[in-house]
Structure 1
Amino acid sequence: MERFDLSAENVTGALPEGATKEQGISLAIGFFDGVHLGHQEVVRQAVALARRQGLVPAVMTFDPHPRVVLGQGSQYRTVLTPLGDKLALLAELGVEAAYIIHFDRAFSEVTAEQFVKSFILPLNVKATTVGFDFAFGHKGEGNAEALRLFSGGAVEVQAIDPVYLEEGKVSSTRIRDRLEAGECTDASRLLGRPYLIKGTVVHGDARGRLLGYPTANLLPEQPYVIPRLGVYAIHIDVLSDTGSSVGHYNGVLNVGFRPTFDAPGGALKLEAHLFDFDGDLYGSALALTFHTFLRSEKKFESIDQLVAQISSDSAQAKEIFSKTLPL
């Protein structure tokens, strides 16, 4: 998938090799954090329309989150899918071009009409697909009908109804809530895939190895949403330079502040113990996939109690994995 960076000062785009501007674009527009089941439906409809009409299937998204720039929610400084992850998932859905608009204060002042005439029409967009609650332009003044109006009828617009899963609407907020509660299975169902965090293994204090349970101390590469503090059964992929898996393991992960060893106010740590692994992972890139929440983080009165609990956690995770299909 081609990726093109646009800004308020640079509104020209490019097309994938072999495509021409005359061919036109079918454009899905949105922030798409999580690329969850609802987002997937929007993108699939845009891709299907592109196939029917001979257009280039594309997306337009924004970076960073508009609410962060506008000071409307510090929680949006973390994301379910950082930009690179998001683009990879969109490509899997059939998207061939991605237009990324750098969202800043200046762009937030662009009116809905200016957005259509400066960012949509110059790309030769023939059709747009948006979510049911899509809003754009200064103070969110624009909607799907405004897209039709300001394009002068030149752009076909389809608004996609929300996707519901059992007890409610699928949304990024709902997924965040599930992760913050440690409900990995629920979050995975809403995402349409397990939740994962990527990062690099950095040096810790090597205490896990001394306890008989060596751990990989993961530094997330992007500001991911961090699930509830505690211990998880996880899958771990060791990644190559191209991002492909070169090793797949089961394990347990502690997300927290290590109260048994560290004083309050320390840094949050993600420490993974890989089953059946013996080697040096320092500097390696890992992808941690969350499977099951095992227990909350707690402080132990002795090292022996901690070791016994880690042994119990590992046994519980292995039992869980023995009853589930591998990823």
Structure 2
Amino acid sequence: MQHWTGIDAVPAGFGPAVVTIGNFDGVHRGHQAVLQQLVDEGRGRGASSVAITFDPHPRQVHAPESGMHLITGLTDRVQLIAESGLDALLTINYTLDFARSTAEEFVRRIIVEKLKACAVVIGHDVRFGAGNHGDFETMVELGRRYGFDVVGIDDVGHDRRWSSTWIREALHAGDVSTAAEVLGRPHRMRGEVVHGAARGRELGFPTANLSPESTGIIPADGVYAGWLVDAAGTRWPSAISVGTNPTFVGVSRQVESHVIDRPDESVEDFDLYGQQVVVEFVERLRPMVAYNGVESLITQMNDDVAKARTILTADASAA
């Protein structure tokens, strides 16, 4: 997949193309259905399939005070979109100046002149252009004017429409199983492993601590079964702690993964510090609670590891 990080990066003479537009935060099953339709339309028309997305997310630009966090960072979004099989992704730097483009200016300049679209694949709830004044009917009218077809995609889901909002709700509740159902895979975070207070190592449960700058929404505080994927792509079964660890005073909120049954407990033979890793959340084991002393905490941690091992053995078998 070609990835263009700016409108001017689109090669001269590119086209024809079948195009879709979206933020694709999470690249969940609803997004995957749109991208699959895009790829199929492109192949059927003998055209390239191209998705347009934005970075940062428009809400982070128009309402920075909202403190919005993305389900997936840009690195994962690009990787997941590439897995859909489309030909190209255009990531547009979203700014207040860009946001002033009218719906017609956006379509004419990018979809028509840059990408030479023969068709646009969009949901019926699409909004685009200054003030979000452009909608599905606007795109249909512009298609007539500029000579491209518009293919409407219906909402997909079972009891509820698959959406980024649903995923955020689930993650904020610690329901990573529901989030995985909507995503079509476990929720993930990505970041650098940094040094922590080493309390886990002192207790016999060394952990890989994610940097505060890591991407991906942090689920609700608690202990989870999941996977740590190191820089080499090796997947390690893990018990993951999210929170402040209330048994100890003055600990800031953090995400730390204890690799289960690691081959060697020495830092020299298993050094993740400084690596970019991915942490995947499979199932929540329990909420974060304070324990009456270190011995009670160690007993609980042994129980957490045993439960996580059982869950992840089944998860690996089902994969």
TM-score by length of 1: 0.89
Q: Unpaired runs of 5+ in structure 2?
A: 265-269
Alpha-carbon shift at residue 146 of structure 1 (Å): 1.3
**Cα contact 1:232–1:294 (8 A) shared by 2:** yes
Q: Tell me the amino acid that sits aligned with residue 254 of structure 2.
A: K
Alpha-carbon shift at residue 194 of structure 1 (Å): 1.2
1:213 correspondence with 2:205: yes
1:231 correspondence with 2:223: yes
1:103 correspondence with 2:94: yes
User: What corresponds to 1:87 in structure 2?
Assistant: 78
Tell me which of 254, 268, 278 is aligned to 2:253. 268
CA deviation map 1:5-42 (0-9, x unaligned):
22xxxx43425xxxx83641111111111111111111
The 3-state SS of whatever aligns with 1:21 is: coil
Q: CA–CA distance in 2 between the matches of 1:275 and 1:22?
A: 49
Q: Tell me the amino acid that sits aligned with residue 12 of structure 1.
A: D
Distance 1:88 1:189, change over 3 A: same
Q: CA–CA distance in 2 between the matches of 1:21 and 1:144?
A: 27
Alpha-carbon shift at residue 220 of structure 1 (Å): 5.7
Tell me which of 260, 281, 303 is aligned to 1:312. 303
Alpha-carbon shift at residue 139 of structure 1 (Å): 1.0
CA deviation map 1:127-163 (0-9, x unaligned):
1111221100111110122123234141111121100
User: What corresponds to 1:49 in structure 2?
Assistant: 41
The 3-state SS of whatever aligns with 2:316 is: coil
**Cα contact 1:202–1:218 (8 A) shared by 2:** yes
**Cα contact 2:20–2:121 (8 A) shared by 1:** yes
User: What corresponds to 1:321 in structure 2?
Assistant: 312
Q: Unpaired runs of 5+ in structure 1?
A: none
User: What corresponds to 2:161 in structure 1?
Assistant: 169
**Cα contact 1:59–1:97 (8 A) shared by 2:** yes
Q: CA–CA distance in 2 between the matches of 1:22 and 1:128?
A: 16
1:14 correspondence with 2:10: yes
User: What corresponds to 2:267 in structure 1?
Assistant: none
User: What corresponds to 1:155 in structure 2?
Assistant: 148
Q: CA–CA distance in 1 between the matches of 2:271 and 2:165?
A: 37
User: What corresponds to 1:249 in structure 2?
Assistant: 236
**Cα contact 1:23–1:54 (8 A) shared by 2:** no
1:31 correspondence with 2:16: no
CA deviation map 1:222-251 (0-9, x unaligned):
4421111100011111123xxxx1x22212
Structure 1 runs, 4 residues or longer, greater than 3 Å off: 220-223, 322-327
What is the percentage of aligned positions where both structures have the same residue?
36
The 3-state SS of whatever aligns with 2:10 is: coil
The 3-state SS of whatever aligns with 1:12 is: helix
User: What corresponds to 1:4 in structure 2?
Assistant: 4
Distance 1:60 1:139, change over 3 A: same
The 3-state SS of whatever aligns with 2:5 is: strand
Q: CA–CA distance in 2 between the matches of 1:302 and 1:153?
A: 71
Q: CA–CA distance in 1 between the matches of 2:148 and 2:75?
A: 28
Q: Tell me the amino acid that sits aligned with residue 314 of structure 1.
A: V
Of stretches 115-124 and 20-29 in structure 1, the one that deviates more from structure 2 is 20-29
1:293 correspondence with 2:289: no
**Cα contact 1:234–1:291 (8 A) shared by 2:** yes
Q: CA–CA distance in 2 between the matches of 1:155 and 1:29?
A: 15
Alpha-carbon shift at residue 221 of structure 1 (Å): 5.1
Of stretches 127-136 and 218-227 in structure 1, the one that deviates more from structure 2 is 218-227
Distance 1:90 1:215, change over 3 A: same
The 3-state SS of whatever aligns with 2:303 is: helix
Q: CA–CA distance in 1 between the matches of 2:62 and 2:181?
A: 31
1:204 correspondence with 2:204: no
Aligned-residue RMSD, C-alpha: 1.8
**Cα contact 2:18–2:50 (8 A) shared by 1:** yes
Q: CA–CA distance in 1 between the matches of 2:277 and 2:64?
A: 32
The 3-state SS of whatever aligns with 1:213 is: coil
Q: CA–CA distance in 1 between the matches of 2:239 and 2:15?
A: 50
Alpha-carbon shift at residue 318 of structure 1 (Å): 1.8
Q: CA–CA distance in 1 between the matches of 2:89 and 2:313?
A: 40
Tell me which of 66, 82, 98 is aligned to 2:58. 66
Tell me which of 167, 176, 183 is aligned to 2:175. 183
The 3-state SS of whatever aligns with 1:157 is: strand
**Cα contact 1:67–1:73 (8 A) shared by 2:** no
Q: How many residues align?
A: 310
